[in-house]
Amino acid sequence: MNEHQNSHSLVSRFSTNLIREIVGNEKDQGGIFMVDVNGFGNRCVFASLGRFVGPYHPLYCVDGCNGFDPFPFVTAARKEGRDPQAVLENIFVSRVFTCHQMTAVVREELPQIVDQPNTPLVAILGISDLFYDEALPFWEREYLYRRTLDHLKILRKKGLITLVTFRDRQEGSGARLWRWLLQHTADRVMRIENQWSVASGQMSVVGGQYVQRRVASGRSDLLWG
């Protein structure tokens, strides 16, 4: 067991079966699952989630690294013989651009979805990426990061399942601390070991603003200017 992991964290190989376990067995009790990604690792996550997203398993994605890509969802749906449009209609993306916005979304937006009839699975992409901004003092970034994780723990107790992706950065203050704190918060730590081949693509996002987008329609509701 790595010294940076607590006793209830288990380093596992990320796989579709693991996603099935999370979606199927953890739904009532909630959980925080860390996925250690590298390169195009987020696309591996999308390809697996694409097998399960639908009317009964909506996905709410908080994108902190400009990494959301709808094409792996479409590819996975087609391979499963499902309607890609039905998958995309059940994916909602919030794009955040600062660490303050990341904390605000977790604190203010995520609690609103917990009581929905079909509580969405939440995916937070690049949770630590915005906390490397050295324009802010380190103490402030650390405070916000800890507060973000504390709110995720509160939501876990309410039954919310959160899949959080993390990627290493060699430069910037806080790199080791961000990983250490997240590993101690997560119920399980997963690592992407093999590069998957999935379709590439881009999704345009309104620059410089925090937006929520319904993926299928391309409609954006401005939440934060």
Residue 90 lies in a domain: yes
Quote the CA–CA distance of 165 and 36 in Å, as a whole number. 6
Residue 60 lies in a domain: yes
Residue 49 lies in domain: 11-224
Quote the CA–CA distance of 221 and 212 in Å, as a whole number. 5
| CATH number of the domain residue 128 falls in | 3.40.50.300
As a whole number, mean pLDDT of residues 211-216 equals: 38
CB 179 within 8 A of CB 191: no
pLDDT of residue 40: 52
Residue 183 lies in a domain: yes
The DSSP output letter for 54 is B
pLDDT of residue 42: 74
Quote the CA–CA distance of 122 and 128 in Å, as a whole number. 16
Number of domains in the chain: 1
Residue 122 lies in a domain: yes
pLDDT, tens digit, 9 for 90 and up, residues 177-204: 999 999 999 988 887 754 443 333 222 2
Task: Write down the pTM of the prediction.
Answer: 0.77
Distances (CA, A) of 187 to 11, 35, 36, 193: 10, 11, 14, 19
pLDDT, tens digit, 9 for 90 and up, residues 117-156: 777 889 999 999 999 888 899 999 999 999 999 999 999 9
Mean pLDDT across the chain: 75
Looking at the predicted structure, is the pLDDT value of residue 91 above 80? yes
